[in-house]
Structure 1
Amino acid sequence: MQLYGALVLFMTLSAACGLRCYTCTATDPHSCTDTKSCSVIFNRCFSLRVEGYNMVTKGCQTSLICTGSMACCEGNLCNSATPTGPSVILLLVSLAMITLSL
C-alpha cells in the first residue's frame, strides 16, 4: 500500500513542476542533453528531423501544432532517444506493482 502512495506522490510532484523537454538543434539526436521547463501553453515535447540537412530539432510544443512529420509525445523528457531516469523508475515501479498484485 505504501508503494501506491509513493507512486501517487511521485506523479503529483512531477506534474506540479511542469513539463520538461530536451531542446536542441543538432546533427546527432543523441547529443541533445539540454533540458527546458516548458511554458504553461506547451503540453507536448517534440522531435523534428529536417530532411536534406541531416538535422534534428527538439523542444516544447502544443498538441494543436503536432502534425505531419513532427513526432510529439507526452511526459517529461519523452523526446529523448534513450530512456531517462524518471521513465525507467516509473516503469520499474509499475512492474513491481503488477508483480506484487499477482
Structure 2
Amino acid sequence: MKLLVTLAIACALFSGASLAYLNGMKCFTCKDNDCTHTEECRESDDGCFSASVIINGQEIRNKGCMSQTDCSVYKCHAINNEHACCKGNLCNNALRIGQRVLFLLLVPLASFILFS
C-alpha cells in the first residue's frame, strides 16, 4: 500500500513537472503535409512558424512552435523557401494564403447570389 501511494505521488510530480514547460499557446503543425493538427508550445516558444520548400517539384510544408529569436535566424538563412513567423495563439493558420483569398472572394459572391 505504501508503495502504491509513493508511486501515485511520483507520477503526480512528474506529470506536473512536464506541464510546467508548456506555456498554454498552441500552433498548427504538419504531419505528412497535412497542417491541420495543433501542438502546445513549450515555455521558451513565444510564437509560431510556417515554412515551405519545393524539392524535386514537391512542396514540403512545416509548421509549429518557435521562439521569435530562432525565427529571425531561420529567416536570414532561408534560401529558395518561404518562412514566416507570427505571435499569438494558432496564428500560423492551417489555410494557405491562396485559400484564404479564395474564401474571402467567394463569401461576398455567395451572399450576393443568395440575398439578391
Q: TM-score, normalised by structure 1?
A: 0.54
Whichever structure has more strand as a proportion of its residues is: 2
Q: Does 1:59 align with 2:64?
A: yes
1:61-98, CA deviations, whole angstroms, 9 ceiling, x for partnerless residues? 0111113242000111110144xxxxxxxxxxxxxxxx
- Work out whether residues 26 and 57 of structure 1, in 8 Å CA contact, stay in contact via their aligned partners in 2: no
Q: TM-score, normalised by structure 2?
A: 0.48
In the TM superposition, 1:13-92 aligns within 5 A as: 18-27=24-33, 31-52=34-55, 53-67=58-72, 68=75, 69-82=82-95
- Work out whether residues 25 and 56 of structure 1, in 8 Å CA contact, stay in contact via their aligned partners in 2: no
> What are the ranges of 5 or more consecutive residues in structure 2 without an aligned counterpart?
1-22, 76-81, 96-116
How many angstroms apart in 1 are the aligned matches of 2:39 and 2:64?
A: 8
- Aligned sequence identity (%): 40
Q: Which has the higher contact order (CA 8 A, sep 6+)?
A: 1
Across the two proteins, how many residue pairs are aligned to each other?
63
Question: Whose radius of gyration is greater, 1 or 2?
Answer: 2
**Superposition misfits of 4+ residues, deviation over 6 angstroms:** none
